[in-house]
Amino acid sequence: MSKDLRPCPFCGLQARIRKINDKHYAVTCIMNCAGTKITTKEKAIEIWNKRAIV
Ligand SMILES: [Zn+2]
């Protein structure tokens, strides 16, 4: 099951996953105007996609 990242709700640009360490990730947009907390990969994606506008 793959989860796609939605575009940034603020600038509409692409989001990306930043790996912090083996267990921690954050999702930010490429302009760094929005981001999630540092958490697990799945949770970071989930938080991001809930925030993003479809
Ligand atoms: Zn953005």
pLDDT, tens digit (0-9, with 9 covering 90-100), for 6-40 = 999 999 999 999 999 999 999 999 999 999 999 99
**CA 45 / ligand 1 centre spacing (Å):** 15
**CA 21 / ligand 1 centre spacing (Å):** 23
Closest CA to 34 of 50, 23, 19, 21: 50
pLDDT of residue 1: 45
**CA 50 / ligand 1 centre spacing (Å):** 15
Global model pTM greater than 0.85: no
Closest CA to 17 of 4, 28, 9, 7: 28
